[in-house]
Amino acid sequence: MSAAAIRLACHLIQEHFGEIVEKVCRFLLENGSSQLRVVVKRTNIQLSQVKKALCVLISHGIVAFESTKVGVVEYTANINHCLLLARYPRFIYSAKTLYGDAGELIVEELLRGGQMLMSMVVERVTERLRRAVEGSQKVEPSLARGKFIQLVEARFVQRVPDMPDPTKEEPSPSSDIPKDEAVLYKLPSFVHDIGTPRGKRKREDKDDEQGQKAKRSRTDSSGETEYYIDEDIFWQVNLDRFHQYLRDQEIVNAVSRSCDKLGSEIVRTMLRMSELTTDKLANATAPMSFHEILRALPGNLNLDRNSLEQYLKVLTEDQTRIVSKVAEAGGGMYIVGILFVDLKEGSVAVCLSCIQSVVQERFGSKSHRIFKLLVLKKYLEQRQIESFALIPAKEAKDLLYQMFAEGYISVQELSKAPDHAPSRTYYPFFINLRQVAQKQQDRCFKSLANLIARRKYEMNENKRLLEKAQRVEVIANSFRSSGADESHIAEIEEMITPSEQELLKLNKARMAKLETSELQLDEMMFTLENFLIYQQSSISADSKKAKGTTSNR
């Protein structure tokens, strides 16, 4: 948890939840777990307000609480969850591309509210949809409900896990234990009674659900009634699932660049086939057979058996090694390859490409060449670098040490003699990708915080003007709706002078640019984060393995 990360988190919290919540959260981030009383005292905020702020943070999964052994309740903020606030627009956008406007609104409402009842979400979404379509068309609540069910079935939305029993002392309310996982996505049975469109995913466990969940459906809501009793089930957005989706998207994009459109569609299909069965930290998807892939391919691709086979061959031979073959089972006349998508390899490749682009832009293409050379050949001395990269000695030295000074390249001291005398020591250069990724991540945090700070500053600078423009617009609108004269409206709109118009336009363009960049920056942060998670998981797996072998002895 770096200072830059905290700064960014505070910016984000302030934007989403306001000053007071930001102060409380900042205190928790900077001081670690604290009691309520301590928070109140040190932040100088009223008890009731701190309580409310903590409530907001808890419902968004940012703050967790647990009671210590002494019986005192302590609150802890999770910085990673704070930083996710920057990714909300992407979640919403993904929901839009997958499930249309209603899906977008559902996810937006859930993200904004943290934890919500299904009926509440459906009601609000229906309302908003009605308003958006200018009221003429009647939007059925069943539309939103159907989408909601689809989202749950695709595991984008999940139940809020039950609060841990204080007597049992479970670690944190948000940790989902695998055995409960299916429970998290169980829909109350009554929703199906209303004839809502059924999603295509996860059909199998609906039948047994009917019996189990019968007691949950207290009322049989018949027909199109607006209200059903679901007070006891709160829903939240399953962020892990969205992350999985975004990561898959990233890999698909990478494939489409290294292969072509059709190849990427095949990888997308493979990823979609396995998205519910694969663990979020798994290195690779579960293996799937050629026939399964063929069957699951969308019909509009017009791929026959032959060309699919060829495409898979191309994909497995690709340098990125994203798709691999694990086995060949002979079936009848043809060979069935069992394939899987290597998620770890995919994220490493994407992250590497991302870091390389940073090196390329920051230090130029010659340095990029040296960097890639080191990535490929692992350990090299300066002289070897010169001859491999065909860069004159003087220039190579310059570029190399520049990157070394900024921490992109590391040096490993290798001494021939135990005295480590410089004359008898090799100094090969290498790249510690994990370190570089972490450094980049930190830079991203700071940059994003900078962008947000700048955006706030710009907003503040033109605050009066913006407010004025807004007022004028409201007045003009109200005149228009009351059927006032056109000349009246024009008169009011003229209250903003041309120079002010100009400024407003400029301001709008600036905001748009800053916001786009924020999203792009977050995309990069996501890439790096993914990579680091995989690194972490492989390191812990290694250490576990090492521990296992030692204990075996």
Partner 1 sequence: MAETSVTVKQEMPDEAETGSSSGSYVEKRILEICHQDAKGVSDSALQIHLPNVDVQEKVKAINSLLSKGQIDLVQGSNNQLLYKIKDTQKQVDLRGSDNQERLVYQIIKEAGNKGIWIRDIRRGCGLAPPPLNKILKKLENRKVIKAIKSVGDSKKKVYMLFELEPDRSVTGGAWYSDQDFDAEFVNVLNQTCFKFLQEKMEAASKLDVDPLLKLNRSYASPEEVWKYIQELGLLSNGVNLGVDDIETILNTLIYDGKVEMTVSVNKSEQKGRTKMFRAIQPLTEPAGIMRIPCGVCPVFDNCYEGGAVSPSTCIYMKEWMDY
Binding track over 308-337 against partner 1, x by CB under 8 A = --xx-xx--x-xx-----------------
The terminus-to-terminus CA distance of the chain in angstroms comes to 37
Kindly list the distances between the CA atom of residue 420 and the CA atoms of 423, 425, 428, in Å, as whole numbers in the listed order: 8, 6, 14
Binding partner 1 by CB under 8 A: which of 32, 171, 392, 407? 392
Q: Phi and psi dihedrals of 390, rounded to 5?
A: 55, 50
Q: For residues 79 and 448, which CB has a smaller minimum distance to partner 1 in the complex?
A: 448
Q: Whole-number minimum distance, CB 43 to partner 1, in Å?
A: 20
Binding partner 1 by CB under 8 A: which of 62, 110, 355, 466? 355
Q: For residues 124 and 368, which CB has a smaller minimum distance to partner 1 in the complex?
A: 368
Tell me which stretch binds partner 1 (CB under 8 A): 207-215, 423-431, 453-461, 465-473: 453-461
Q: Whole-number minimum distance, CB 317 to partner 1, in Å?
A: 8
Q: Is residue 106 within 8 Å of residue 95, measured between CB atoms?
A: yes
Binding partner 1 by CB under 8 A: which of 118, 339, 350, 399? 350
Q: Is residue 293 within 8 Å of residue 339, measured between CB atoms?
A: yes
Q: Whole-number minimum distance, CB 510 to partner 1, in Å?
A: 4
Got the DSSP string for 182-239? HHHTPPPGGGGGGTPPPPSS--TTHHHHHHHGGGT--S---TT-S----TT-EEEE-H
Q: Which two tokens stand for residue 336?
A: 């069935």
Rounded to an integer, what distance in angstroms lies between the CA atom of residue 452 and that of residue 470? 22
What residues numbered 243-282 form the site for partner 1, per CB under 8 A? 253-254, 257-258, 260, 262-263
What lies within 8 Å, CB to CB, of 272 at 6+ separation is: 248, 296
The reply to whether 70 sits near partner 1 by the rule CB under 8 A is no
Binding partner 1 by CB under 8 A: which of 68, 210, 212, 307? 307
The reply to whether 358 sits near partner 1 by the rule CB under 8 A is yes
Long-range (24+ apart) CB contacts under 8 A made by 221-230 are 221/190, 221/193, 221/194, 222/193, 223/194, 224/140, 224/141, 224/142, 224/194, 226/119, 226/123, 226/141, 227/119, 228/119, 228/190, 228/191, 230/117, 230/118, 230/119, 230/188
The reply to whether 372 sits near partner 1 by the rule CB under 8 A is yes
164 by DSSP, 3-state: which?
coil
Rounded to an integer, what distance in angstroms lies between the CA atom of residue 370 and that of residue 373? 5
Binding partner 1 by CB under 8 A: which of 410, 447, 537, 538? 447
Q: Pick from 149, 2, 151, 18: which is nearest to 85 by CA?
A: 18
Q: Which two tokens stand for residue 253?
A: 């994009």
Q: Whole-number minimum distance, CB 29 to partner 1, in Å?
A: 17
Q: For residues 254 and 297, which CB has a smaller minimum distance to partner 1 in the complex?
A: 254
Residue 262 CA to its chain's centroid (Å): 26
Tell me which stretch binds partner 1 (CB under 8 A): 57-65, 180-188, 479-487, 503-511: 503-511
Q: Return the H-helix or E-strand segment holding 429.
A: strand 429-430
Q: For residues 161 and 263, which CB has a smaller minimum distance to partner 1 in the complex?
A: 263
Q: For residues 317 and 485, which CB has a smaller minimum distance to partner 1 in the complex?
A: 317
The reply to whether 446 sits near partner 1 by the rule CB under 8 A is yes
The reply to whether 388 sits near partner 1 by the rule CB under 8 A is yes
Rounded to an integer, what distance in angstroms lies between the CA atom of residue 476 and that of residue 453? 32
Q: Whole-number minimum distance, CB 182 to partner 1, in Å?
A: 36
Q: For residues 2 and 210, which CB has a smaller minimum distance to partner 1 in the complex?
A: 2
Binding partner 1 by CB under 8 A: which of 131, 203, 488, 513? 513
Q: Is residue 29 within 8 Å of residue 77, measured between CB atoms?
A: yes
Binding partner 1 by CB under 8 A: which of 453, 459, 490, 541? 453
Rounded to an integer, what distance in angstroms lies between the CA atom of residue 231 and that of residue 234? 7
Q: For residues 82 and 86, which CB has a smaller minimum distance to partner 1 in the complex?
A: 86
CA dihedral 475, 481, 487, 491 (to 10 degrees): 10
Total residues interacting with partner 1, rule: CB under 8 A = 65
Other Cβ atoms less than 10 A from the Cβ of 374: the count is 23
The reply to whether 499 sits near partner 1 by the rule CB under 8 A is no
Q: Whole-number minimum distance, CB 515 to partner 1, in Å?
A: 11
What residues numbered 97-126 form the site for partner 1, per CB under 8 A? none
543 by DSSP, 3-state: which?
helix
Binding partner 1 by CB under 8 A: which of 112, 424, 434, 454? 454
What residues numbered 515-534 form the site for partner 1, per CB under 8 A? 517, 519-525, 527
Q: For residues 489 and 532, which CB has a smaller minimum distance to partner 1 in the complex?
A: 532
The reply to whether 361 sits near partner 1 by the rule CB under 8 A is yes
Rounded to an integer, what distance in angstroms lies between the CA atom of residue 212 and that of residue 268? 35
Q: For residues 291 and 362, which CB has a smaller minimum distance to partner 1 in the complex?
A: 362
Binding partner 1 by CB under 8 A: which of 334, 401, 404, 457? 457
Rounded to an integer, what distance in angstroms lies between the CA atom of residue 385 and that of residue 376? 12
Q: For residues 470 and 520, which CB has a smaller minimum distance to partner 1 in the complex?
A: 520
Chain positions contacting partner 1, by CB under 8 A: 253-254, 257-258, 260, 262-263, 306-307, 310-311, 313-314, 317, 319-320, 349-350, 353-358, 361-362, 365, 368-370, 372-373, 376, 388-393, 395, 440, 443-444, 446-447, 449-451, 453-454, 457, 506, 509-510, 513-514, 517, 519-525, 527
